[in-house]
Structure 1
């Protein structure tokens, strides 16, 4: 918790007042855990869970494994890499495990940037099958470097401020010369029309990666669905599949399954979307 939010003692706080305080938190922050909110508000974990479930039903937040994240319908900005690392961690790990399970020996895979792809890099590093990996993400590259089963290609560029990705014309030109089996794509947002992001330079690289891949799989936690960022990466029809987590409501799963050939929902490690 930050210094600007002092703990409250709210045993007798009305539900509407307590929910207003929770909304106040999400105005200033992207993510919250049930434990932190309970401590801040002086309420029980079960009470906070009910409040978050209510706010999720109103479309204000989206529940995650252990808390919630703010729903962003439209955005021109994104969380810093340090902040993103703490958002929906269990969901991202589950998504990464499903993605790694798709790979076959001898295939070539491009890895986009963002923390979900960092988890994918760890999952791929744990495999033993021979693979060729192409990535412009320096964190993913560091995870995969010097692995006996991995041939690693890093197209290069200039490191984007506040992130791990290398961007620029040199990297795009190299990607344009490649033909890979898979692209594991990240994004800031997706809706039923398109995948979108907040950096024009990043989107230009992503478009080159999509063109260079036989099939594209979007790896995206459920908090990013139903929103749109400023730059259009690709129409949703360019995706072969989407892998997300159990936090995506069933009715939303049905909508996205109608516009992509394959929608995979990664289970939480304990087999439940609850945070108990």
Structure 2
């Protein structure tokens, strides 16, 4: 980590979290020197990260939260996290949707945010295993608003997970018979070693079917998902065409990701700059 007095709070906390995960813990006095900020600022940052549930405060510093690989937060719990990052990601990802195309959206709070932006894309056919995503289009239609040129929405059946995704054999069969131009995929975790993963085994299989039915796979996930590993992996990084994330992603993570997939898009940064790519 380099010292910088002008880092935004969100960027500073992302650097702290990356350091906690990389080293297994940090001390307040170390962070004040490296970030060139006050002791009080660091403690406020650690308080904010602790409220998000990603670090645990200990005497003089913080350590990573030891979360079980089978832990699956509910939709409402995840909805309150990284709101501005998810909106930035959703806006950037929506620009990739081609009018008149068939798109698939998996379950998740980031794909839910994306669905609202897709209302402005004309003539889409939307396939989803997310009740929440389907409701975005249904509610817009009921209200008489613009639903993207009367988007056609196909909701798969299945068993509902804590994150409001429909999974299992019914969903798997429905998805296997379809073909999408692009899949926008939310993930529980992403890493170079484990690829894309989820704590729910049934959801992992359904996500495999989604990936297998898509011509292009675009992962939409905020920076906190990097380094997280769920119980079941369902895709390798080389199966991903583009990863859309936010500016909180560390430089080390960006470098590692660009070695494994062709398109890294950091929402809010120039797509043809050093941290993004327009060739995907």
TM-score by length of 1: 0.71
Paired residue secondary structure (1:152): strand
User: Which stretches in structure 2 are left out of the alignment for 5+ residues?
Assistant: 1-16, 18-37, 56-63, 142-146, 270-280
Give RMSD over aligned pairs.
2.8
1:224 shift after superposition: 1.1
1:17-28, aligned counterparts within 5 Å?
none
1:85 aligned to 2:85? no
Paired residue secondary structure (1:99): helix
Q: What is the distance in 2 between the residues matched to 1:52 and 1:263?
A: 31
1:166 shift after superposition: 1.5
1:254 shift after superposition: 1.2
1:157 shift after superposition: 1.5
| Kept after mapping to 2: 8 A contact 1:73/1:227 | no
Residue in 2 aligned with 1:243? 244
1:44-63, aligned counterparts within 5 Å?
49-51=41-43
**1:73–1:188 CA distance, 2 compared to 1 (3 A):** farther
1:107 aligned to 2:101? yes
| Kept after mapping to 2: 8 A contact 1:73/1:228 | no
Show structure 1 runs of 4+ deviating over 6 A.
Answer: none
Residue in 1 aligned with 2:221? 220
Judge which range, 259-268 or 236-245, deviates more: 259-268
Relative contact order, higher structure (CA 8 A, sep 6+):
1
Aligned residues: 216
| Kept after mapping to 2: 8 A contact 1:182/1:215 | yes
| Kept after mapping to 1: 8 A contact 2:103/2:127 | yes
1:250 shift after superposition: 1.5
1:70-110 deviation line (CA, Å, top 9, x unaligned): 45676221322111010101101111111101111111110
Residue in 2 aligned with 1:167? 167
**1:128–1:252 CA distance, 2 compared to 1 (3 A):** closer
| Kept after mapping to 1: 8 A contact 2:54/2:65 | no
Q: What is the distance in 1 between the residues matched to 2:245 and 2:106?
A: 16
1:251 shift after superposition: 2.1
Q: What is the distance in 2 between the residues matched to 1:177 and 1:154?
A: 14
1:50 shift after superposition: 2.7
1:228 shift after superposition: 1.0
1:248 shift after superposition: 0.6
**1:226–1:170 CA distance, 2 compared to 1 (3 A):** same
Residue in 2 aligned with 1:192? 192
1:237 shift after superposition: 0.7
**1:135–1:254 CA distance, 2 compared to 1 (3 A):** same
User: Which stretches in structure 1 are left out of the alignment for 5+ residues?
Assistant: 1-22, 24-45, 269-276
Paired residue secondary structure (2:91): helix
Paired residue secondary structure (1:228): coil
Residue in 2 aligned with 1:123? 117
TM-score by length of 2: 0.70
Paired residue secondary structure (2:92): helix
Paired residue secondary structure (2:260): coil
| Kept after mapping to 2: 8 A contact 1:203/1:233 | yes
